[in-house]
């Protein structure tokens, strides 16, 4: 199935003309990527801001590529520094488009404002996105200071994009380093994919032929500077370097400067040209510097091919597409040793790298190339090879497509895992609810009977012995802890309960030396006293050590309660009271066991509370030195519910809820603070 990709590029349209202030590498990148993605089977829509009233809503640009003009802000060209306020409108349009026309498998955002749009769309729709920043706000601020007119919100927005993007495309190692250092990006979610050049657009044309085509002198040493005309591109360095060269040597040389807002030179439209021209004049080389103006992309290969050397000396450069294009045309590059340039240009192999703002060094290198035409040719040939090996748009697009597929596969896997996890959750809750409901219908009377038996045992000075394996061992201890400690009633003394699962020294020794099957039976025989109660917990009802404990209890005349599940197993018949959870699922049985345990605690406390106004009488335990008493926990004047707990009962003589205040001297071996 054809995958649908939305390329968002808020200010840089692929239909734009190269060389304007805001039209440069990003326009090329978006256009080339779109075309090449379509060529390998993707459907691509490029969303870019409508910056002209008469632009059509949708341009069918190439097979498989549409350019969609997004109404966001006035339909006129605006500096990109002023576009942030229109991004909500931009987002709303794309969201609406996704809902009504066509949605996308993935969004590829270009530049930070498009990243913001993509992050917001992901938030609403879950569509994953990758981002190519093309330039980073913090890097720009570092180099441009107050000349950077982008709003400060850019930094926080970029931080958010870095966090929320599914993957980040860095265009060169420096870009990756900046993302990690300045944005704390996770290096595992960054991949380096450079920009490319179009092999059908740039190739090496015979130099003489190219010069003839452009009407340039066949004999001059031609240095080319081509690109956006903004101060940070450091075109003044090229002019100053050229001036140095001319100062050192009398040669027939020319600096061609291509770019600007218009085809004919107009410093009003391109103030940078005015500034540069003034510099050239000041240096006395104005006649050797030719400002050419903006040129259509179809003629750029002639300029690159016509030149002996291409110079690009920006202060910094996120990637820099022009050195690549020049190298593709067989012209070596002298470039600043910054950003993407130090990645694309191999020093001494395809040109030279120099620090930014070093016109003297530039003059040196120019001189060297002028003096060594054969070397210049060799560097040019090597440049062509390097470009074809690493930087064709088809290679770049394959890498980008591989990344898309990785993100989409991750997304599917995550979606699959999520769906699976939700299904597990729902199944668990549903089966738990069903089991609880069935237990509520079936187990009420058994639970009540168990609570009464326990209360009676406590009232008679008996204790509760508990046992079980695994989860049921933990439940036994949990149960004992609730009784010895407190459950709902904050002011009572402990109720005697002993988990036979807790003494690891005895358990391991006995199981190791004698037999695991009677680890509990042995303890029942050891600890059991009259009125004690044995409570065994087993989901299957088939654990031999629990069965053996019940058999021991029977021999000692202890009453028994079993918390079971499924069909109740053998224990069902061996227990005086069997609470059998009606399901075969072990976990659900255990979960209901815990509910039953808590209910038993509550019911027992309730029973004992009901007796708290009984007169104090000594218990069997007290006589034996294990007496306990319970401080009143609630005002409760009701009469005992069960005559077995009444003070009048011949056997059951104590109320564990009697007030200690009234008779503290008599009892309270276990007493609450």
> Which amino acids are annotated as binding site, given as ranges?
469-471, 478, 482, 512-513, 538-540, 543, 590, 598
How would you classify the pairing of strands 497-499 and 533-537?
unpaired
671 is a contact residue toward ligand I22 (CB under 6 A): no
477 is a contact residue toward ligand I22 (CB under 6 A): no
Q: Which is nearer to Zn ion, 318 or 471 (CB)?
A: 471
CA atoms within a 13 Å half-sphere pointing along the CA-CB vector of 481: 9
Three-state secondary-structure class, residue 534: strand
462 is a contact residue toward Zn ion (CB under 5 A): no
Q: Which is nearer to Zn ion, 66 or 588 (CB)?
A: 588
Residues 6 or more apart from 513 whose CB is under 8 A from it?
none
538 binds, among Zn ion, ligand I22, none (CB under 5 to 8 A by kind): ligand I22
471 is a contact residue toward ligand I22 (CB under 6 A): yes
Q: Evaluate whether 174 touches 343 at the Cβ level (below 8 Å).
A: yes
- Considering the complex, what minimum distance in angstroms separates the CB of residue 403 from ligand I22? 43
540 binds, among Zn ion, ligand I22, none (CB under 5 to 8 A by kind): ligand I22
User: Residues 161 to 200: which contact Zn ion by CB under 5 A?
Assistant: none
Q: Which is nearer to ligand I22, 452 or 540 (CB)?
A: 540
Q: Which is nearer to Zn ion, 75 or 470 (CB)?
A: 470
Q: Which of 247, 245, 490 is nearest to 366 (CA)?
A: 245
How would you classify the pairing of strands 221-226 and 129-132?
unpaired
- Considering the complex, what minimum distance in angstroms separates the CB of residue 100 from ligand I22? 51
Q: What is the 3-state secondary structure (H, E, C) of 404-462?
A: HHHHHHHHHHHHHHHHHHHHHHHHHHHHHHHHHHHHHHHHHHHHHHHHHHHHHHHHCCC
CA atoms within a 13 Å half-sphere pointing along the CA-CB vector of 656: 34
428 is a contact residue toward ligand I22 (CB under 6 A): no
User: Contact region for ligand I22 (CB under 6 A) — 297-305, 380-388, 466-474, 504-512?
Assistant: 466-474
471 is a contact residue toward Zn ion (CB under 5 A): yes
Question: In whole angstroms, how far apart are CA 304 and each of 53, 223, 570?
Answer: 35, 9, 92
User: Residues 562 to 601: which contact ligand I22 by CB under 6 A?
Assistant: 586-587, 590
- Considering the complex, what minimum distance in angstroms separates the CB of residue 449 from ligand I22? 22
**Which one of 71, 274, 428, 470 is in contact with ligand I22 (CB under 6 A)?**
470
- Could you list the residues known to form a binding site for substrate, using ranges: 469-471, 482, 512-513, 538-540, 543, 590
Q: What is the 3-state secondary structure (H, E, C) of 572-635?
A: HHHCCEEEEECCCCHHHHHHHHHHHHHHHHHHHHHHHHHCCCCCCCCCHHHHCCCCECCCCCCC
Residues 6 or more apart from 217 whose CB is under 8 A from it?
211, 252, 254
Q: Evaluate whether 612 touches 636 at the Cβ level (below 8 Å).
A: yes
- Give the C-alpha separation, 453 to 447, whole Å: 10
User: Contact region for ligand I22 (CB under 6 A) — 236-244, 463-471, 510-518, 553-561?
Assistant: 463-471
Return the exposure string of 137-146: e unless at least 16 CB atoms fall within 10 Å of the residue's CB, then b: bbbbbebbee
User: Contact region for Zn ion (CB under 5 A) — 125-133, 463-471, 527-535, 609-617?
Assistant: 463-471
518 is a contact residue toward ligand I22 (CB under 6 A): no
Q: What is the dihedral of CA 511, 512, 515, 516, to 10 degrees?
A: 30
Q: Evaluate whether 618 touches 627 at the Cβ level (below 8 Å).
A: yes
536 is a contact residue toward ligand I22 (CB under 6 A): no
User: Contact region for ligand I22 (CB under 6 A) — 100-108, 378-386, 407-415, 535-543?
Assistant: 535-543
Q: Which is nearer to ligand I22, 393 or 520 (CB)?
A: 520
User: Contact region for ligand I22 (CB under 6 A) — 112-120, 132-140, 219-227, 468-476?
Assistant: 468-476
| Number of residues engaging ligand I22 in binding (CB under 6 A) | 11
Cβ atoms within 10 A of the Cβ of 69, count? 21
- Considering the complex, what minimum distance in angstroms separates the CB of residue 556 from ligand I22? 22
476 is a contact residue toward ligand I22 (CB under 6 A): no
312 is a contact residue toward ligand I22 (CB under 6 A): no
Q: Which is nearer to ligand I22, 98 or 467 (CB)?
A: 467
User: Residues 540 to 559: which contact ligand I22 by CB under 6 A?
Assistant: 540, 543
Q: Evaluate whether 572 touches 562 at the Cβ level (below 8 Å).
A: yes
Q: Which is nearer to ligand I22, 365 or 588 (CB)?
A: 588
Q: Which is nearer to Zn ion, 434 or 587 (CB)?
A: 587
- Considering the complex, what minimum distance in angstroms separates the CB of residue 466 from ligand I22? 13
Q: Evaluate whether 104 touches 45 at the Cβ level (below 8 Å).
A: yes
- What is the distance between the terminal CA atoms of the chain, rounded to a whole angstrom? 73
- Give the C-alpha separation, 26 to 11, whole Å: 9
Q: Which is nearer to ligand I22, 259 or 471 (CB)?
A: 471
Q: What is the dihedral of CA 603, 607, 610, 615, to 10 degrees?
A: -150
- Considering the complex, what minimum distance in angstroms separates the CB of residue 587 from ligand I22? 5
- Considering the complex, what minimum distance in angstroms separates the CB of residue 505 from Zn ion? 25
267 binds, among Zn ion, ligand I22, none (CB under 5 to 8 A by kind): none
User: Contact region for ligand I22 (CB under 6 A) — 351-359, 398-406, 533-541, 646-654?
Assistant: 533-541
Q: Which is nearer to ligand I22, 326 or 469 (CB)?
A: 469
Q: Evaluate whether 266 touches 279 at the Cβ level (below 8 Å).
A: no
- Considering the complex, what minimum distance in angstroms separates the CB of residue 420 from Zn ion? 21
Q: Which is nearer to ligand I22, 398 or 587 (CB)?
A: 587
Q: What is the 3-state secondary structure (H, E, C) of 485-530?
A: CCCCCCCCCCCCEEECCCCHHHHHHHHHHCCHHHHHHHHHHHHCCC
User: Contact region for ligand I22 (CB under 6 A) — 62-70, 470-478, 594-602, 648-656?
Assistant: 470-478
Please report, as ranges, the residues that interact with ligand I22 according to CB under 6 A. Answer: 469-472, 538-540, 543, 586-587, 590
Q: Which positions lie near Zn ion, rule CB under 5 A?
A: 471
């Amino acid at each position: 199935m054809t995958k649908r990709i939305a390329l968002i590029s808020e200010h840089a349209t692929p239909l734009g003309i190269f060389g304007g202030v805001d039209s440069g590498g990003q326009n090329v990148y978006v256009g080339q990527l779109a075309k090449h993605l379509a060529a390998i089977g993707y459907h691509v829509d490029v969303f870019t801001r409508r910056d002209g009233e008469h632009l059509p809503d949708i341009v069918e640009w190439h097979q498989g590529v549409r350019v969609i003009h997004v109404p966001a802000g006035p339909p006129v060209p605006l500096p990109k520094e002023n576009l942030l306020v229109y991004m909500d409108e931009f987002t709303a349009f794309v969201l609406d488009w996704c809902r009504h026309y066509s949605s996308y498998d993935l969004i590829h955002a270009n530049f930070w404002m498009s990243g913001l749009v993509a992050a917001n769309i992901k938030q609403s729709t879950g569509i994953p996105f990758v981002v190519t920043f093309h330039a980073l706000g913090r890097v720009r601020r570092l180099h441009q200071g107050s000349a950077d007119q982008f709003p400060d919100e850019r930094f926080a927005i970029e931080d958010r994009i870095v966090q929320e993007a599914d993957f980040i495309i860095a265009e060169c190692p420096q870009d990756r380093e900046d993302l990690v250092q300045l944005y704390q990006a996770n290096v595992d979610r960054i991949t380096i994919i450079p920009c490319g050049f179009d092999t059908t657009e740039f190739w090496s044309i015979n130099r003489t032929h190219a010069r003839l085509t452009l009407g340039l002198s066949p004999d001059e040493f031609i240095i080319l500077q081509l690109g956006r005309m903004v101060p940070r591109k450091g075109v003044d360095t090229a002019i100053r370097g050229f001036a140095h060269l001319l100062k050192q040597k009398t040669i027939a040389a020319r600096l061609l400067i291509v770019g600007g807002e218009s085809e004919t030179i107009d410093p009003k439209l391109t103030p940078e040209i005015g500034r540069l021209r003034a510099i050239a004049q000041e240096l006395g080389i104005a006649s050797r510097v030719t400002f050419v103006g903006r040129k259509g992309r179809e003629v750029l290969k002639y300029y690159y091919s016509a030149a002996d050397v291409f110079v690009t000396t920006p202060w910094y450069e996120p990637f820099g597409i022009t050195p690549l294009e020049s190298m593709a045309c067989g012209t070596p590059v002298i470039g600043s040793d910054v950003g993407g340039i130090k990645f694309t240009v191999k020093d001494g192999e395809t040109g030279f790298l120099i620090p930014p703002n070093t016109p003297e060094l530039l003059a040196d290198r120019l001189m060297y190339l002028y003096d060594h035409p054969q070397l210049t040719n060799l560097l040019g040939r090597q440049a062509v090879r390097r470009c074809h090996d690493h930087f064709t748009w088809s290679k770049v697009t394959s890498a980008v497509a591989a990344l898309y597929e990785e993100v989409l596969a991750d997304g599917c896997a995550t979606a699959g895992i999520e769906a699976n996890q939700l299904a597990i959750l729902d199944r668990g809750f549903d089966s738990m609810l069903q089991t609880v409901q069935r237990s509520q219908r079936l187990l009420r009377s058994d639970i009540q009977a168990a609570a009464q038996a326990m209360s009676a045992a406590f009232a008679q000075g008996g204790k509760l012995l508990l046992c079980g394996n695994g989860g049921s061992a933990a439940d036994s201890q949990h149960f004992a802890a609730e009784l010895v400690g407190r459950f709902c009633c904050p002011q009572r003394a402990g109720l005697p309960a002993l988990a036979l699962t807790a003494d690891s020294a005895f358990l391991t020794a006995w199981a190791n030396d004698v037999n695991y099957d009677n680890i509990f039976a042995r303890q029942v025989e050891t600890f059991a006293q009259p009125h004690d109660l044995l409570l065994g917990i087993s989901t299957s009802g088939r654990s031999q050590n629990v069965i053996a404990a019940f058999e021991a209890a029977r021999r000692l005349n202890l009453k028994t309660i079993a918390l079971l599940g499924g069909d109740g197993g053998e224990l069902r018949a061996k227990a005086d009271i069997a609470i059998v959870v009606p399901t075969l699922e072990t976990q659900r049985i255990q979960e209901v066991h815990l509910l039953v345990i808590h209910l038993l605690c509550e019911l027992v406390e309730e029973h004992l509370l009901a007796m708290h106004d009984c007169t104090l009488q000594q218990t069997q335990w007290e006589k034996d030195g294990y007496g306990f008493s319970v401080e009143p926990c609630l005002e409760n004047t009701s009469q005992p519910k069960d005559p077995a707990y009444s003070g009048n009962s011949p056997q059951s003589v104590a109320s564990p809820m009697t007030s200690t205040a009234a008779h503290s001297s008599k009892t309270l071996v276990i007493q609450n603070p």
